Structure 1
């Protein structure tokens, strides 16, 4: 039976005692064969138990367990080392109950008289002192919101002496860092610039860290780069070519549907047929005999997917002596933001074979854009179709920009 350990000084002597702990104690020192005495302290409440063991000229070891016979219940251990003349343990007890305190020797030859002192401090939540397992107590809050993983704010204490993080912040608008669900902060837009919103220059503006404004982004009409606030941009300021000098649509050329007795509005005559393995972008029902053009200079064309399965074909030719890059894109009557349907652009050579990769969504919209590198004297076909070739929509605008 263990000795009853009370607060204050408790005298004992391990001389003639035996090793009473099953398996011995080797968790922090000793060989597990030294004589031992066990004391039991009954904690009345959660609190702090401070233990001091003063041996009479022998090498002692002080350790504690929640249950003497269970080594896995060890609460702490302090061996006597160097010039140390006493062993000390401070145990934080989260609940009332027994604690077994073992007075041990470093080996079988270490034994003798000793004094074991015990002092217990009850943990009282609400007394303003952070003790035991308390995180805080009243207005005494030793931590911080940052230490708890937040970016700032005020850490408080709950009535049960645990942290109250309701005043902590996951984001602080105005500190220049994009945090939480912020879209921007000050001049910090992450990697985004006006170009991400289809503008040529200028600067983004952050509104209360929640929205990004493009009001200060800029574009240049006639640059050939279609921006978000332009309905068209054909690379010049000339009139009469479908795009005015202010980059608004002005009387575009109308796409013509080829006659077909079965489906008079359908250029290809066979809606919604796909090559096996081609996926939703490439169709196989293009007819070389049905096309608009040929076109060899910049032009803006208006067309429509008049029926499901419609494909509009436009022949482009290079009448120069060198290779040219023809920029092709679809848009809506009011610009990129108004595409009436999910367009796909495909380029085919003079024999009808697909050249390069089709273009589906571009500029963050359902419009499409690509560049055709056209050698001298070569003819190609630009095909406009619906994604999966199974919907009707319109009108759309096709811009062909020749250098």
Structure 2
């Protein structure tokens, strides 16, 4: 049977990473993979994470399996972090929660759960988005319906297309929302736009699926999480997948959580069981180390404060880089909107040929889509990038 496997498809992002690694030029810049980097170009372990890991190493006395839903302290800590103890859905016992293997694993449980409940459900996805969104819909055998979220040339949301997609949603359909700073374009819906779209989905009986990973890197931790809390307060049902890869810098530990906002406590009980059944078939039992690290940080006041301090320093660096890039917008008009966007990404209006030229002639590596990781810029790089963009634009 192995001889009948198709030729593997190259992963575009990993191709960018490979080209960067193979580039011998010392001035090379990696604007591809979405990890946070400091001014020296290093992706550091947060000090709060390192301290938590050291504490766990000294305290841990077993490697036995955890419960199907994951680490109790992690699930409790993340529930309080994302929703707050006073959120109506928390008070009413309407939130089902399960640990996932990163944000992607959490999303997989969500789409599989949706298909199990209604095989005719569709998933509405705004483009551009992350490749995993479409892949996950296919893996769950959900019909994928796409619309244009962002006009790269105009550097603006296509609100007309987004609204049309929301009005076409059917009962039981999933509609993907990006959490704060999560969209690869760096452009978020406003609160009013998000409220209006959620109201349309509630009216049609569709279910929002919110993918959140970059909370804390936009307008601040509480400000970013408040967007998720507000969304959860305005709909009777929703899936909310939360990754710990970005905000805690735990990329390789693959830790995340899926929340299912339910209409009542009895519904929550049944949804919880469904999510656990699906997780059992995917990973058997959830991994412990990353979840334990997050739980330790969230329950230790000193480490919690240190983590928030480090996260805010990351946010401020991103804002400074955006401001620096925006300062070149007179010479490079495509940088005009960078300052008004948030998070580590922006989607520049570049052709595939222009991105190839940037890599070949300027040692600046990025995906062909023109999506750049702002955090990949080291000290002095914004000016280099702006000059290179000016050159390829001509």
TM > 0.5 between the two? Answer: no
Higher relative contact order (CA 8 A, sep 6+): 2
More helix by share: 2
TM-score for the superposition, normalised by structure 2: 0.24
Tell me the TM-score normalised to structure 1 length: 0.23
The structure with the largest strand share of the pair is: 1
